[in-house]
Amino acid sequence: MKILVTGGAGFIASHVADAYINLGHEVSILDDLSRGSRRNLNPRARFFEGDIQDRAFVDHVFDAVQPEVVNHHAAQMDVRRGVREPLFDARVNILGSLNLLEAAVAHKTRRIIYVSTAGAAYGEPKSLPVTEECPINPITPYGISKHTVEHYLFTFSFLYGINYVVLRYGNVYGPRQSSQGEAGVFAIFSEQILAGIQPVIYGDGSKIRDYVYIDDVAQANVCALERGAGEIFNIADGVPTTDQQVFSATSSLLGHPELKARYVPKRPGEIDAICLDISKAARILGWKPRVNLEEGARKTVAFFQQTVQQPQTV
């Protein structure tokens, strides 16, 4: 199968591309390398460097690849930048995605797998765990832009017959994660501790997130190749985890269980708690997470121990 993976030089999509290639698919990657890295590119993938906001470039890629499936991860994914620059956020995430959708229709692409967001889209939920049917109340431009494309997918399916699957991710973590990315607390804590910097926690450490290991996310994207047309799925672990728990696990694995974090006020746009109901993905996609937080944390911290990077502040 010919698959185009947008954002395929980034943390999550590079693992997805690897999973597709390992199954024998013909994979091409589109990425502008603004946040991704060449070192994440699978050498067996065909690479196109450019921006999804450039319609001529997008058409060139589709002409060259003729993709049967588009796996769309490319995005402006910095929540804080979206708050500061909502027009930029909308241009990349909405208008860039429309370039891809129109090209997919023109080239008779069979399916689009679109990566959306759970926490940023649902906003502050009234009850947990959150199902796919819960109200969408984004409190940041990023959440708005990512959710808007879900509506365009439904409309393009109705108008042109193209099918799609939406995956709403929880907090993805694992090897290759960047401390500059959203939800990258494992990366941030690991790099800070390894560099001898006191880690920073925004809030009092009680914020709840739903973490999911990268290998499980890649497998969800494999399942979405053939199942779940026209559906939206939460992809997470279904287990509530606090910032303090992540910090304690990371510091202990790095041999500093006594380490104390520095607590500062939480940032605008951050929700207090999110945990997802993943039963729909199990029922329709046939997908369930296999790596628990203890195992995933161990693998992630080991990666950073082997590849110490320049520390970044949160």
142 is catalytic: yes
How many whole angstroms separate alpha carbon 156 and alpha carbon 147? 15
* First vs last C-alpha separation in the chain: 40
Give every CB contact of residue 147 below 8 A, 6+ residues apart in sequence. Answer: 116, 117, 121, 136, 138
* Cα dihedral 304→309→311→314 (10° resolution): -60
Asked whether the beta carbons of 282 and 288 are under 8 A apart, the reply is: yes
Please state whether the peptide bond connecting residue 135 to the residue before it is cis, i.e. omega within 30 degrees of 0: no
Q: What interhelical angle do 96-106 and 141-160 show, nearest 10?
A: 20
**What does each C-alpha distance from 263 to 148, 206, 282, 314 come to in angstroms?**
34, 11, 37, 12
Question: Which is catalytic among the residues 142, 164, 173, 213?
Answer: 142
What SS3 state is found at 146? Answer: helix
Asked whether the beta carbons of 251 and 96 are under 8 A apart, the reply is: no
**What does each C-alpha distance from 106 to 23, 52, 83 come to in angstroms?**
27, 16, 34
Which residues sit opposite 113 in a β-bridge?
Answer: 71, 165
Question: What are the phi and psi torsion angles at 262 (to 5°)?
Answer: -100, 125
Catalytic residues: 142
